[in-house]
Amino acid sequence: MLSLILKILRDKVGELYNSINRKMQPLPFGDDQDYILDSDTVTVSDFWKDFKKYSQSPALIGVFYVFLLLNIIINLFIIIMSISNLSNHCLRNHLLSLVMALFWLFVPPIIWMYSTRYVFWNYHLYKYGSLILLALNDLIIIQKFIMSSFYPSLIHFLSIIPVGEYIGKDMIMQLGVFLFAGLPPLIPIYIGCKLYGTFSSDLVLDEIDRFKLDQYIDFRKSKEFAYDFKAVRYLSTGSQFVVKELDRFLHMYCDGTTGTAKTSSVLTVAIADDLDQKVYNEDYQKKACYKALKEGKLRICAPFNGTDFSINYFEPILLENPNADKQIEKENASRRELYRHLKFDSQSAGITVVAPNAAWADQCYHMAKNRKLKIHRIDPILKDRKHKEGFTGFNPFKIDPALTGKELATTITAQASNFATVVQSIYDQSGVSDPYFSSLNETVTVSIAELLMLTYHLVHPGQVPKASDVQNLINDCSRCRPYLDALIKHYSVHSVRDSGNDRTEQVAEVVDVGQWQQVYTTINNDLLGENKANMYDRCNGLRNLINNFLNDPLVRDVFEAEETVDIDKALEYGEIIILNYALERGDSVATGFGLFFLLSYETAVLRRPGSENDRIKNFIYIDELPVLLHPKLQSFFTLFRQYRVAVICAIQTLDQVKKIQLDSIMLGNCAHQIIFGRVSTTEMDIFSKMAGETLEHVTQETVTETAITAELPAYSYSRRSTPTLSERFSGTVFRYLGFQEVIFFSVNNSSPIYPFRGKVNFLPKPREKSAPRLKIEWEPFMPGPLHPSVFEKRFSVAHISSNGYFSSGKPGNYFLAGNKKSIPEPQVQTDLTTETTEAVSDAEDQTPVEPTHIITPTEHTDGIFFGE
Examine the domain organization and report whether 309 and 200 are in the same domain. no
Examine the domain organization and report whether 202 and 285 are in the same domain. no
Please state, for a pLDDT cut of 70, what percent of the chain lies above it.
83
More confident residue, 501 or 254: 254
Examine the domain organization and report whether 296 and 433 are in the same domain. no
Beta bridge pairs of residue 702:
718
Helix (H) or strand (E) holding 95: helix 95-115
Indicate whether 701 belongs to any domain.
Answer: no
Indicate whether 780 belongs to any domain.
Answer: yes
Question: Rounded to an integer, what distance in angstroms lies between the CA atom of residue 868 and that of residue 861?
Answer: 20
Indicate whether 661 belongs to any domain.
Answer: no
Mean pLDDT of the residues in the chain: 83
Q: Residue 755 pLDDT > 50, yes or no?
A: yes
DSSP, res 785: S
Question: Rounded to an integer, what distance in angstroms lies between the CA atom of residue 578 and that of residue 558?
Answer: 13
| Residue 643 burial (10 A CB sphere; 0-12, 13-18, 19+) | buried
Examine the domain organization and report whether 798 and 863 are in the same domain. yes
pLDDT confidence of residue 19: 63
Classify the phi-psi angles of 627: left when phi > 0, otherwise alpha if psi is within -120 to 50, otherwise beta: alpha
Examine the domain organization and report whether 403 and 542 are in the same domain. yes
Q: Residue 648 pLDDT > 90, yes or no?
A: yes
Question: Rounded to an integer, what distance in angstroms lies between the CA atom of residue 421 and that of residue 640?
Answer: 20
Sequence-ordered list of residues with C-beta below 8 angstroms from that of 278, at least 6 positions apart, any chain: 227, 348, 349, 351, 371, 373, 574
| pLDDT, average across residues 781-796 | 49
Least confident window among 497-506, 517-526, 587-596: 497-506
Indicate whether 857 belongs to any domain.
Answer: yes
Q: Contact 799/273 with Cβ under 8 angstroms?
A: no
Question: Rounded to an integer, what distance in angstroms lies between the CA atom of residue 782 and that of residue 301?
Answer: 8
**Domain ranges, residue 113:** 51-215
Sign of CA dihedral 378, 382, 386, 389: negative
Least confident window among 18-27, 123-132, 617-626, 803-812: 803-812
DSSP, res 766: G
Examine the domain organization and report whether 289 and 427 are in the same domain. no
Question: Rounded to an integer, what distance in angstroms lies between the CA atom of residue 359 and that of residue 361?
Answer: 6
pLDDT confidence of residue 612: 87
Q: Residue 841 pLDDT > 60, yes or no?
A: no
pLDDT confidence of residue 63: 93
Sequence-ordered list of residues with C-beta below 8 angstroms from that of 620, at least 6 positions apart, any chain: 351, 352, 353, 354, 601, 636, 645, 646, 647, 648
Q: Please say which residue of 160, 195, 215 terminates a domain.
A: 215
Mind listing the pLDDT tens digit for each residue in 406-448?
A: 888 988 999 999 999 888 888 777 656 667 778 888 899 999 9
Q: Please say which residue of 552, 570, 599 terminates a domain.
A: 552
Number of domains in the chain: 3
Q: How confident is the model at residue 659 (pLDDT cuts 50, 70, 90)?
A: confident
Mind listing the pLDDT tens digit for each residue in 740-749?
A: 999 999 999 9
Q: Contact 545/429 with Cβ under 8 angstroms?
A: no
Mind listing the pLDDT tens digit for each residue in 257-287?
A: 999 999 999 999 999 999 999 999 999 999 9
pLDDT confidence of residue 77: 92
Indicate whether 6 belongs to any domain.
Answer: no
The count of residues in the chain is: 868
Mind listing the pLDDT tens digit for each residue in 32-85?
A: 556 666 666 777 777 777 777 778 888 999 999 999 999 999 999 999 998 888
Q: How far is CA 148 from the centre of its chain?
A: 56
Type of residue found at 669? N
Examine the domain organization and report whether 329 and 475 are in the same domain. no
Q: Residue 229 pLDDT > 80, yes or no?
A: yes
Examine the domain organization and report whether 60 and 205 are in the same domain. yes
pLDDT confidence of residue 37: 63
Question: Rounded to an integer, what distance in angstroms lies between the CA atom of residue 836 and that of residue 371?
Answer: 9
Phi, psi for 421 (deg, rounded to 5): -65, -40
Give CA separation, 815 vs 319, 799, 807, 819, in Å.
Answer: 10, 12, 12, 8
Type of residue found at 630? H
pLDDT confidence of residue 494: 62
Print burial letters for 811-824: b (CB count within 10 Å at least 16), e (below 16): ebeebbeebeeeeb
| pLDDT, average across residues 121-131 | 92
Examine the domain organization and report whether 338 and 407 are in the same domain. no
Question: Rounded to an integer, what distance in angstroms lies between the CA atom of residue 597 and that of residue 425?
Answer: 13
pLDDT confidence of residue 485: 92
Q: Residue 555 pLDDT > 60, yes or no?
A: yes
Q: Tell me which residue of 198, 195, 155 sits closest to 177, measured CA to CA.
A: 155
Question: Rounded to an integer, what distance in angstroms lies between the CA atom of residue 657 and that of residue 622?
Answer: 14
Q: Residue 800 pLDDT > 60, yes or no?
A: no
Please tell me which of 331-340, 493-502, 534-543, 653-662 the model is most confident about, judged by mean pLDDT. 331-340
Q: Residue 752 pLDDT > 50, yes or no?
A: yes
Examine the domain organization and report whether 431 and 540 are in the same domain. yes
Least confident window among 233-237, 261-265, 559-563, 735-739: 559-563
Q: Contact 529/504 with Cβ under 8 angstroms?
A: yes
Q: Please say which residue of 171, 193, 215 terminates a domain.
A: 215
Indicate whether 761 belongs to any domain.
Answer: no
Q: How confident is the model at residue 304 (pLDDT cuts 50, 70, 90)?
A: confident
Examine the domain organization and report whether 184 and 298 are in the same domain. no
Give CA separation, 413 vs 408, 409, 447, 772, in Å.
Answer: 9, 6, 9, 46
C-beta atoms surrounding 46 within 10 Å? 10
Beta-strand relationship, 672-675 and 741-745: antiparallel
pTM over 0.75: yes
Q: How confident is the model at residue 703 (pLDDT cuts 50, 70, 90)?
A: confident
pLDDT confidence of residue 615: 93
| Residue 675 burial (10 A CB sphere; 0-12, 13-18, 19+) | buried
Indicate whether 614 belongs to any domain.
Answer: no
Task: Please report the beta strands in 114-168, taking only residues with DSSP state E, as ranges in sequence order.
Answer: none
Indicate whether 435 belongs to any domain.
Answer: yes
Examine the domain organization and report whether 117 and 186 are in the same domain. yes
